């Protein structure tokens, strides 16, 4: 045995539940280790104290309640869903979520820009040649306009 005997081995040794080979290893270790012998004596004293403790009977109503809950009357997991205390908060949460989503949807539709007027304006500007045909990227178009305005300012000076 490399280290000390662990708690389960000592407890099994005390109860006489160890197989012959592990029992021999524990006994060999106990002969040379005072700490493990002290631990075994402590476990032996605890076992004697617990066996001398007064025994009390379980109350009958507790025994019946435990039996009903765990043995005979085991309810399926979905039985809890039929209780009112589950559905009332769930319904309130669903109503709140629907209200918020409808409010957000109505707020979004008010601020939307309709697509048809934009398409009509683009077609008109394209027909009037206000938008260069070769470069329709908005950022480049804005840069071109700013270059034109800068050039016209320098021409004025």
Residue 129 lies in a domain: yes
**% of the chain with per-residue pLDDT over 90:** 18
Lowest mean pLDDT among 1-15, 42-56, 133-147: 133-147
**Whole domain around residue 134: which residue ranges?**
116-156
Residue 144 lies in a domain: yes
Query: CA-CA distances (angstroms) from residue 131 to 82, 102, 144?
Result: 66, 39, 11
Q: How many domains does the chain have?
A: 2
For the segment 71-109, what is each residue's pLDDT rounded down to a tens digit?
765 666 677 677 777 788 888 899 999 999 888 877 655
Q: Both tokens of residue 128?
A: 């009037």
Residue corresponding to tokens 């601020």: 111
pTM of the model: 0.37
Query: CA-CA distances (angstroms) from residue 80 to 57, 94, 95, 144?
Result: 32, 19, 22, 69
3-class DSSP state of 70: helix
Q: What is the rounded CA–CA span in Å between residue 33 and residue 3?
A: 10
Distance from chain centroid for Cα 29 = 47
pLDDT of 152 reads: 53
pLDDT-based confidence at residue 141 (cuts at 50, 70, 90) = low
């Amino acid at each position: 045995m490399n280290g000390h005997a662990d708690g389960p081995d000592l407890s099994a040794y005390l109860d006489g539940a160890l197989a012959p080979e592990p029992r021999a290893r524990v006994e060999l270790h106990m002969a040379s280790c005072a700490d493990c012998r002290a631990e075994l004596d402590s476990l032996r004293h605890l076992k004697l104290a617990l066996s001398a403790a007064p025994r009390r009977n379980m109350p009958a109503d507790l025994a019946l309640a435990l039996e009903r809950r765990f043995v005979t009357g085991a309810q399926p997991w979905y039985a809890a869903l039929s209780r009112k205390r589950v559905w009332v908060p769930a319904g309130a949460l669903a109503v709140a979520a629907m209200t918020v989503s409808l409010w957000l949807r109505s707020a979004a539709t008010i601020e939307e820009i309709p697509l048809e007027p934009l398409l009509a304006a683009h077609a008109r500007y394209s027909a009037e040649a206000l938008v260069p045909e070769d470069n329709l990227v908005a950022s480049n178009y804005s840069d071109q306009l700013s270059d034109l305005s800068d050039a016209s300012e320098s021409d004025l000076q």
